[in-house]
Amino acid sequence: MNSKKITSGRSIRHRFTYSLVGIVTGILLIFSIAIILYNVNTIEEELEKRLEDASKLAGLSLPSALWQFNYEYVNDFIEAIFLDESIVFANVMAGREVVDEKYRPGFPQKDFAWFRKSPDFIVKKIDIVYEGQPVGKIQLAVTRQRVQNAIITNSAALIILLAVVIAAISLTIFLISRRYIFRPLLELESSAELISKGDLDAFIDTSGTDEIGHLATTFDQMIKNVKSITTSRDELNREIKERRQAEVALRESEKKYRLLIENATDAIFIAQDEVLKFANPKAEKMTGYSAEELAKFPFVDIIHPEDRDMVLERHLKRLKREEIPNIYSFRMLDRSGEELSVELNAVLINWEGRPATLNFLRDITAQKNFEAQLQQAQKMETIATLAGGIAHEFNNAPMVIVGNIELLKMELPEDEGRDKYFEAMKDSGHRMSRLTDQLLAYAQGGSYQPRYLKLDEFVIETLPILEHDLSSEVRVERHFSKDISHIKADHTQMQMVLSAILANSNEAIEDEGLIRITAENKDIDEDFTKQHPGLKPGPYVCLTIEDDGKGMDEETRNRIFEPFFTTKFQGRGMGMAAVYGIAKNHDGWVSVDSELGRGTVVKVYLPVVEAVEEVEKGVVLRPKVKLTMGEGTILVIEDEEVLVGLFRQILEILGYRVLQARTGKEAVKFAKTFDGQIDLALLDIKLPDMDGGRVYPLIMEVRPNLKVIVCSGYSIDGPARAILDAGAEGFIQKPFSISAFAEKLKEVLGD
């Protein structure tokens, strides 16, 4: 308001000045126009009069001259009237004949019609009559230039004189106004401007007795009143401002905390009077109860019965300010009864004047499950490594048994009664070998001869063989989706997988029951792999075997893949450990879902491959009955003395010369120092000082033409694969028959 008043007061002087200048200018303009119009009319009348006089003179002087054709007189007449400088054109005609015509220099030489149309000229045409008879006519044109020049000269002088007079009058009026009006107003304006800037103590001259003095006195009194009101107003505004700032800050704080709490990934609530208050949306979602419901029943009702006493005890201790952990985990039950693992972070607060706890509850069920699976996988990995070592060492025993039995049979004459004991011992050795196959399958060494399979065709082909071992009261159903993709797996090991799972399902069904076998393509995403650490994202074929037997409890389910673990009623023994190892060795995964009284579901995931024809290198030939003899020198690299002796006997029977090395260093030394031809080396994987993979390049460096057969208790796709890929010519797995050994030697030596 002050700003508008000051602006209005300040503009009075300007408006007065502008108005005075406008009035003076208007008066000057009106007088100037009047002077110009007066001069124009006066000179126009003078020109009209001159034309009229010239016309009358021509009417008196020219009739007789034209009648008598005295054109010289006509010419003299025109010269006479041209003495008037305003006449610029004269034309005398007799009939249609131009008697004489004259133009003033500097003006256009045009006809009379042109001058008549031009606004710069005044024209006059007079008919000349002699004794009542027309004898001709005269046409005259005078210029208005003289009028214009006269107007400019006369008007300029008068306007200047008028302007000086009016300016003097205006200046006098302005000075008087400035002295008695503007100066007091300016002083009042300056005071008002200071006041508008907050200086309510600004000086106001109230000594004047005129209207402006009275205005100043009134203004001064008004300022005193305003000063008093302003002081009160400022106090009030300050209080209002402080209150508004506090309200805004409170609203912003509430908004931030509400946004934080409502969008928190943890459940947040206040525990007081053994109920939950102020529960956020995450707490509602986690428990399945609304915030209103949570505030009506004891919070211990949603805690797992086994953890209730512990949680309640810690809550009460915290309220008493006793020292307890701020963060701990326990189990809770949601509205549907599902068990959740949660982690609680609680702090003591004062809520509505009484002690309470502010709680942050996080669902760690997925984390707990993942940790359990990871621990189980690490446990399985450790056991697998141990099982692999045992199987490798254990394979040497059947090799010694089977090999010596065959040597004994070769040395003794045929005897049917004795041979049946030999066969029983050989069968036991082969059963021991099959057990080591299972251990190797579990221990990352069991994919012996992988080939392309379709699980639906494999199950249809294999199931009739295995159904003979199932109870007659157990019914088997098969359901396969169309276009099952190919996998790459060892046919024998996949038979072991199917046989082991079916056997366990059969044992779990006490009376009548159903086993359902399905296979389908599955695309595994990253979320699924997070729950199953052994899998990678991509396409898989899932083989599912489901039974309606007794099922398993959690303890049994957690130990099901351990070697030699068995529970008679559920039937989960070494076979499931082999299933686990085979699946892992084929870059797959096996999962078991089971509950007591609800049966068991076993799922085996195997990666999809594109089927192509392939011939594996170095596969073991099946033994033949007739021995194939040979010749040459063979270096046996084996650390177990009993096996070295057995290999020496067999090789010498087959016609070969034998060199033996018990360590890797000894084998390299033989290769360097033996003075003679070594045709072939029989290389074991595990040696006391170094493994076979390190020995192979050292002996090949010395004897590049040496042929090597890898002999190991591991499979061809175990540690032997790297040596075969490096250039070894063949592989034979312990235990083996003498005939198979002979054939492999003949094949590699090429004899």
At the top level of CATH, which class does the domain 633-749 belong to? alpha beta
State the Cα–Cα distance between residues 142 and 43, nearest whole angstrom.
Answer: 12
What CATH number does the domain located at 267-363 have? 3.30.450.20
What whole-number percentage of the chain has pLDDT above 70? 76
State the Cα–Cα distance between residues 292 and 270, nearest whole angstrom.
Answer: 13
State the Cα–Cα distance between residues 680 and 100, nearest whole angstrom.
Answer: 151
The CATH number for 389-607, chosen from 3.30.565.10, 2.40.50.140, 3.50.50.60, 3.40.50.720, is 3.30.565.10
Which residue type sits at 421?
Y
pLDDT digits (tens, 9 = 90+) for 682-692: 999 888 889 89
pLDDT digits (tens, 9 = 90+) for 255-274: 777 777 777 788 889 899 88
Mean pLDDT to the nearest integer, 33-45: 73
Q: pLDDT band for position 3 (50/70/90)?
A: very low
Asked if 736 contacts 620 with a C-beta cutoff of 8 angstroms, the reply is yes
In this prediction, residue 4 carries a pLDDT of 42
Mean pLDDT to the nearest integer, 614-639: 62
Q: Which residue has the higher pLDDT, 563 or 135?
A: 135
User: Which pair of structure tokens corresponds to residue 15?
Assistant: 């408006």
State the Cα–Cα distance between residues 392 and 318, nearest whole angstrom.
Answer: 58
Mean pLDDT to the nearest integer, 173-177: 74
Residue 164 phi, psi (nearest 5): -65, -45
Query: Does 696 have pLDDT greater than 90?
Result: yes
In this prediction, residue 473 carries a pLDDT of 86
Could you tell me whether strands 474-480 and 354-363 are parallel, antiparallel, or unpaired per DSSP bridges?
unpaired
Q: Which of 453, 715, 712 is nearest to 604 (CA)?
A: 453
pTM of the full structure: 0.37
Total length of the chain: 751
Query: Does 590 have pLDDT greater than 70?
Result: yes
Query: Does 378 have pLDDT greater than 60?
Result: yes
Output the CA torsion 113→118→123→127 (10° steps).
10
Q: Using CB atoms within 10 Å of the CB of residue 162, give its burial: 0 to 12 exposed, 13 to 18 middle, 19+ buried.
A: middle
Question: What residues does 362 pair with on adjacent strands?
Answer: 343
pLDDT digits (tens, 9 = 90+) for 185-215: 666 666 767 766 766 666 666 666 666 666 7
State the Cα–Cα distance between residues 339 and 200, nearest whole angstrom.
Answer: 76
Mean pLDDT to the nearest integer, 615-633: 54
In this prediction, residue 570 carries a pLDDT of 41
State the Cα–Cα distance between residues 565 and 576, nearest whole angstrom.
Answer: 9
Q: Does 2-150 match 267-363 in CATH topology?
A: yes
Asked if 730 contacts 618 with a C-beta cutoff of 8 angstroms, the reply is yes
Q: pLDDT band for position 618 (50/70/90)?
A: very low
What CATH number does the domain located at 2-150 have? 3.30.450.20
pLDDT digits (tens, 9 = 90+) for 537-571: 999 999 999 999 888 888 787 778 776 566 654 43
Query: Does 113 have pLDDT greater than 80?
Result: yes
In this prediction, residue 520 carries a pLDDT of 93
Query: Does 715 have pLDDT greater than 80?
Result: no
Q: pLDDT band for position 518 (50/70/90)?
A: very high
Q: Which range has the worst mean pLDDT, 247-251, 375-379, 671-675?
A: 375-379
Query: Does 80 have pLDDT greater than 80?
Result: yes
List the chain domain ranges. Answer: 2-150, 267-363, 389-607, 633-749
What 3 state SS string does 449-466 have? CEEEEEHHHHHHHHHHHH
- Cα atoms in the Cβ-side hemisphere of radius 13 Å centred on 273: 9
Q: Which residue has the higher pLDDT, 5 or 424?
A: 424
Q: pLDDT band for position 2 (50/70/90)?
A: very low
